[in-house]
Amino acid sequence: MKEDVKRVRYPKKVRDLAQMEARAVELQLYDPLHIHGLLPTPECARALLSMRRPAYSMEEVERFVAARVARKEIFERDPAPDLSFVLEEWTLRRPLGGRTTLRRQLEHLFEAGQLRNVELQVMPTEREERAGVDGSIEVLKLEDGSAIGRSPAVANGRPDSDLRQLRILELRYGIIRAQALTPRESAAFIEKLLGET
């Protein structure tokens, strides 16, 4: 299957992101609107991409799904990078693609959260304060000690390596993590959602 995925022509934005992720030794990732692109099952990604308006063609949907699947190679790297995700509770409750798709997605998240190099946290909807009001945050730390950050609030969402901007993103991400459930509480929360689905 990997050979088929590598022959897919990805959009430039996705290629650039995958190249940055492939070089990272640590990733800090928060998305207030969706489950981060490294975590959806193919079924969940397909359902989300199929809802876009104006609509993608089926060929485009499958190309984007293949691109997301290819990015998941990061979980198989050796040595494995440290991955930290904060997920909004409401993104875990949306039955995109139906109840079966949601259940598989929750099972996948639970399994991913059990990996030794993955910290998965859930931000409860009931939290009155959250530092993520400016949108998604991605901080990728590289082996040479440099880092790249991205957020809609910084450089219009383009990757930025300015130290001042990176400090702001890391500070914001640290506060988001402190406001979220711990990894253990998050695993129990996802398990509870599985019981309800």
Mean pLDDT score, 75-82: 92
What confidence score (pLDDT) does residue 159 get? Answer: 86
* The pLDDT of residue 122: 98
Which residue from 124, 106, 94, 105 is spatially nearest to 185, judged by alpha carbons?
A: 124
C-alpha distances out from residue 99 to 96, 182, 187, Å: 8, 26, 20
Domain extent for 171: 24-36+79-196
Asked whether residue 68 is domain-assigned, the answer is: no
Give the pLDDT band of residue 26 (cuts 50, 70, 90).
very high
147 part of a folded domain: yes
Residue 65 maps to a domain: no
8-12, 22-26, 34-38, 97-101: least confidently modelled range: 8-12
> Is residue 55 in a domain?
no
Instruction: Flag whether 44 is in a domain.
Output: no
How confident is the model over 118-133, as a mean pLDDT? 93
20 versus 80: which is more confidently predicted?
80
Average pLDDT over residues 70-78: 90
Identify the residue with better confidence: 85 or 197: 85
More confident residue, 67 or 184: 184
115 within domain boundaries: yes
Token pair 């995925």 in the structure block, residue: 5
Give the model's pLDDT for residue 46: 96
Average pLDDT score over the chain: 90
Confidence of residue 4 (pLDDT cuts 50, 70, 90): very low
Q: How far apart are CA 178 and CA 169, in angstroms?
A: 14
pLDDT recorded at residue 13: 53
pLDDT at 12: 56
Residue 158 lies in a domain: yes
Q: What is the pLDDT of residue 94?
A: 94
Asked, for residue 190, whether it belongs to a domain, the answer is yes
Overall number of domains in the chain:
1
Q: How far apart are CA 18 and CA 57, in angstroms?
A: 23
Say how many Å lie between the first and final Cα of the chain, rounded: 30
DSSP sequence for the chain = -HHHHHTS---HHHHHHHHHHHHEEEEEEEESSS--TTS--HHHHHHHHHT-SSPPPHHHHHHHHHHHHHHGGGGG-SSPPEEEEEEEHHHHH--TT-HHHHHHHHHHHHHHHTSTTEEEEEE-TT-S--TTTT--EEEEEETTS-EEEEBTTBGGG--B--HHHHHHHHHHHHHHHHHSPPHHHHHHHHHHHHHH-
**Is-contact 113 186, C-beta < 8 A?**
yes
**pLDDT of 103 above 90:** yes
